[in-house]
Structure 1
Amino acid sequence: MSLLFSGFKIKNIELNTKLVMPPMASEKADAGGIVSQALCDYYDEKTKGSYIGLVIIEHSYVSPQGKASAGQLSISDDSTIEGFKKLASVLHKNGAKVIAQISHAGAAARHKITGYDVLSSSSVMIPRKASDYELPRAMMQEDINKVINDFVQAARRAKEAGLDGVEIHSAHGYLLNQFFSPIMNKRTDKYNGSSIKGRTRLHIEIIEAIRKITGPDFFIAVRLGACDYISGGSSLEDSVEACLLFKKAGVDLLDISGGFCGYTNPELEEEGWFSRITQAVKEKVGVPVILTGGIVSPEAAEKILQEEKADLIGVGRALLNDSDWPKKAKQKLES
């Protein structure tokens, strides 16, 4: 049997394979961000055959103020629970474990979409290439307290809906990535941008608060934008140190990504773009690690696992383009 299609255990959760469907925005939610039948059908098609061990449901906003796009999925109030129950049922039927990626866009939000002020770690313009972003307001302590509670309530809803856990989104230029990145975090208080402890304090407070309300068996992952690939941004060394703090706070899985707001490393050409980072995190932190990014061939996925550069493999665009990719990959690796 191939490594990719063999099982893996994380704490109390048994995955039937090491293949992960990573979070990919589908924009298929109904009005108000509610899970639609079209969304359930989409996930059903992608996960048929029990080839996928873990599904990370696309980023879902924890509050209307943190909404990133018009068609984004919501987990911001209790009216969303029933839809997530239906989606979890579909995915569990197909043999996958299910976690929801919970997110706040921060400075990547737009007033014209949310109707709210745009917030961030600091009043610094987000370095994205689109021209319609606004200068955010630096968050005050009461704003931070509200965001912590918004993440906690989102996790509670996920648990009530029967999901196996949540993934806290701190990548791709969203709010928690804005706190982690020294490019955006110019604070001088306890959430300061000049130390890893300050840059991860909000993450830690969210992780610990979620654990307190959901209990020891609920699955908590963090998706971390490990390297910004911009001068003055976060580095591999920063990320290893941050992941050690996440481990201490009780995280069960680390999902490594990179590239603040779309900035990428021009050297990332081989399949498994972030393998150097995932290997370092796996070796030095000792928490299971997902590698997603540029993996399109089964052979590349298998090689990464053989070389112990990651524990789980996320396949995004290839699965998006071909729902039978997992079936074909298994046949190719095990024929």
Structure 2
Amino acid sequence: MSYLITPIKAKHLTLKNRLIMPPMATSKSEIDGKVSKDILDYYDEKSRGGYISLIIIEHSFISEEGKASNQQLSIAKDNVVEKLKELADVIHRNGSKAVMQINHAGSAAKTEVTGKEVVGPSAIPNPRMGNIPKELTKKDIESITNDFKEAARRVREAGFDAVEIHSAHGYLLNQFFSPLSNKRTDEYGGDIKGRIKIHLEVIKAVREAVGENFPILLRLGASDFMEGGSTVDDSKLAAQKFENAGIDILDISGGFCGYMMPGACEQGYFSPLTKAIKEVVSIPVILTGGINEAYVAEKLLEEEKADLIGVGRAIYKDSDWAKKAIESLK
């Protein structure tokens, strides 16, 4: 029995195997954030043959204020939808399912990129970048929540199979999640219940936009691996709340430590996080983290450390990696 090539169903999303391609920024979009020919060619190459069951598109900004970098994909305006339909179609024709990841950079944004004032949960230095953002008001939070809602609507209109909310790698929702960057004293700060209030509001808004049958994923930076930062215990409590709020799949990564874990050298280095979270939820959990051999993916699934395996850099370097991995297991 091969675990990696076993189908799995997450409510309204059925996947033919357990291999996914996690989001990786390409900086290949047009200047205005629309899908370019380079983007189409890139995802065509990565999805060819349909060996990857699910491809999660790189993070896309929900508003100009939330743009993380130049030539980042946009999901901020209705005029991007037509080109995004082409992208979804390319991936579907190749036999894979497609997800868009939607994001606000928060204090990880730069005024020289956005032309806007940098914002965050609290007016303290960003733990990784050092810049001090303007503290968001409750009205600002309401506006950003609506931006997530509108972005999710566009994802569905573009023909994608699901939408993923980004709360990892030191971006805005992750900034609310982490006590390193969230020092608020109102209902959006304090203990973990306060720090995920915005997440629950975003999930509710996104669900209203896409309907009951459209899958929603959430990428969670489940530990900062930094003194005073978020911990796996925080994430276990949050994961249960997210499942109850309607999240269909949890995609686990690092927080302010980024997509790497300090000092880690083994494949699947986030597996202690996914194993702990998997024990407290009933929805599928995605594990990423330096996995580059099919037999390791098999072992991690067999040991029930995750339900789905994300392979990023190996597929980035070798577009035939998925084909070789799947065929080696048949």
TM-score range, shorter chain: over 0.9
Counterpart of 1:51 in structure 2 is: 51
Give the C-alpha shift of residue 120 in structure 1: 0.2
Counterpart residue type for residue 292 of structure 2: V
Q: What is the alpha-carbon distance in structure 2 between the residues aligned to residue 174 and residue 97 of structure 1?
A: 25
- 8 Å CA contact retained: 1:54, 1:96: yes
Counterpart of 1:142 in structure 2 is: 139
Give the C-alpha shift of residue 264 in structure 1: 5.0
Alignment of 1:1-335 (within 5 A): 2-128=2-128, 134-192=131-189, 194-262=190-258, 264-334=260-330
What's the secondary structure of 1:92's corresponding residue?
helix
What's the secondary structure of 2:196's corresponding residue?
helix
Give the C-alpha shift of residue 36 in structure 1: 0.9
Q: CA RMSD in A?
A: 1.2
| Structure 2 unpaired stretches of 5+ | none
- 8 Å CA contact retained: 1:67, 1:109: yes
Give the C-alpha shift of residue 267 in structure 1: 4.2
Q: TM-score, normalised by structure 1?
A: 0.96
Q: What is the alpha-carbon distance in structure 2 between the residues aligned to residue 195 and residue 31 of structure 1?
A: 40
Q: What is the alpha-carbon distance in structure 2 between the residues aligned to residue 332 and residue 97 of structure 1?
A: 22
What's the secondary structure of 1:33's corresponding residue?
coil
Give the C-alpha shift of residue 5 in structure 1: 1.8
Give the C-alpha shift of residue 331 in structure 1: 2.7
What's the secondary structure of 1:329's corresponding residue?
helix
Q: TM-score, normalised by structure 2?
A: 0.97
Over the matched positions of the two proteins, sequence identity in percent amounts to 54
What's the secondary structure of 1:135's corresponding residue?
coil
Counterpart residue type for residue 168 of structure 1: I
- CA deviations on 1:164-194 (whole Å, 9 max, x unpaired) are 11110000000000000000000011101x2
Task: Give the 4+ runs in structure 1 shifted more than 3 A.
Answer: 261-267
Q: Could you say if the C-alpha distance between residues 59 and 181 of structure 1 is closer, same or farther in structure 2, counting changes exceeding 3 Å?
A: same
What's the secondary structure of 1:290's corresponding residue?
strand
- 8 Å CA contact retained: 2:62, 2:102: yes
Identify which range, 212-221 or 148-157, moves more after superposition: 212-221
Q: What is the alpha-carbon distance in structure 2 between the residues aligned to residue 317 and residue 264 of structure 1?
A: 12
Q: What is the alpha-carbon distance in structure 2 between the residues aligned to residue 84 and residue 219 of structure 1?
A: 18
What's the secondary structure of 2:29's corresponding residue?
coil
Q: What is the alpha-carbon distance in structure 1 between the residues aligned to residue 2 and residue 171 of structure 2?
A: 36
Counterpart residue type for residue 127 of structure 1: P
- 8 Å CA contact retained: 2:259, 2:289: no
